[in-house]
């Protein structure tokens, strides 16, 4: 069974640009969550999608957005990039979404903003 | 006060010893508790979940939960060098959001 797949794995952008990250969950998993991981702040929750609906949202500015498609694949977008957006962005999927916490993480997309 | 607090470590234990990792949380209505292991340069991996007060054992790992004290811990028996990693405590609060602590780095020495 294939794991959670995130693309791209690494990317470099400049301030003011925008970026789109993609996540394909484990087959059969309908819940997808996104996290930002930085050395200082640890794992910070961005948002969670279940059956194409945003079920929960963290405390990030509106520049951070996401969506989920009918096949459960998800994308997140960050507009007007700032230096502080440099981080590892992790996507995680879970089977039914009933238990919020049993997550399977992808390898992440490492974003560097110059 | 942080929602989920962990000592950042590093916690250094000799091979074969018991490693004890601790976590406190602030949301008294929290219902679900998890331990994730993250090796350097890798993504987090779920190793234990616990939902009710008491102990839950899985191989060399034991999770302990005390909701009255808002405290959850992870014991690793017979620690091995391969256990060296950062251990993340995660809690599902009343808003159904999973909140992670910043992690405790464990070093198992030979």
Q: How confident is the model at residue B13, as a pLDDT?
A: 97
pLDDT, tens only, A7-29: 999 999 999 999 999 999 999 99
* A114/B98 Cα distance (integer angstroms): 30
Q: How confident is the model at residue A99, as a pLDDT?
A: 67
Of chain A, the end-to-end C-alpha distance in Å amounts to 37
Residue A10: C-alpha distances to residues A56, A87, A108 (Å)? 26, 10, 9
Interface check for A12 against chain B (CB to CB < 8 A): the answer is no
Assess whether pLDDT exceeds 90 at residue B34: yes
Q: How confident is the model at residue B10, as a pLDDT?
A: 94
Is B54 in contact with B66 (CB distance < 8 Å)? no
Interface check for A21 against chain B (CB to CB < 8 A): the answer is no
**Min CA distance, A87 vs chain B (Å)?**
13
CB-based contacts of A61, cutoff 8 Å, min separation 6: none
């Amino acid at each position: 069974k294939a794991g959670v797949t995130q693309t791209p794995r690494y990317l470099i952008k400049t301030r003011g640009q925008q970026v789109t990250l993609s996540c394909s969950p484990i087959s059969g998993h309908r819940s997808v969550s996104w996290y930002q991981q930085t050395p200082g702040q640890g794992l910070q929750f961005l948002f969670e999608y279940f059956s194409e609906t945003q079920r929960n949202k963290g405390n990030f500015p509106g520049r951070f957005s996401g969506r989920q498609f009918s096949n459960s694949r998800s994308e997140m977008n960050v507009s007007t990039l700032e230096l502080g957006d440099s981080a590892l962005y992790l996507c995680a999927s879970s089977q039914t979404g009933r238990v919020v916490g049993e997550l399977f993480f992808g390898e992440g997309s490492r974003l560097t903003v110059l | 006060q942080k929602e989920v607090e962990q000592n950042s470590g590093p916690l250094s234990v000799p091979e074969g010893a018991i490693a004890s990792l601790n976590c406190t949380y602030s949301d008294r209505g929290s219902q679900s508790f998890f331990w994730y292991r993250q090796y350097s340069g890798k993504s987090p991996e779920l190793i234990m979940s616990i939902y009710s007060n008491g102990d839950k054992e899985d191989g060399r790992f034991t999770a302990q939960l005390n909701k009255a004290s808002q405290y959850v811990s992870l014991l690793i028996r017979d620690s091995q060098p391969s256990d060296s990693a950062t251990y993340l405590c995660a809690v599902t609060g009343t808003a159904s959001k999973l909140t992670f602590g910043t992690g405790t780095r464990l070093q198992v020495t030979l």
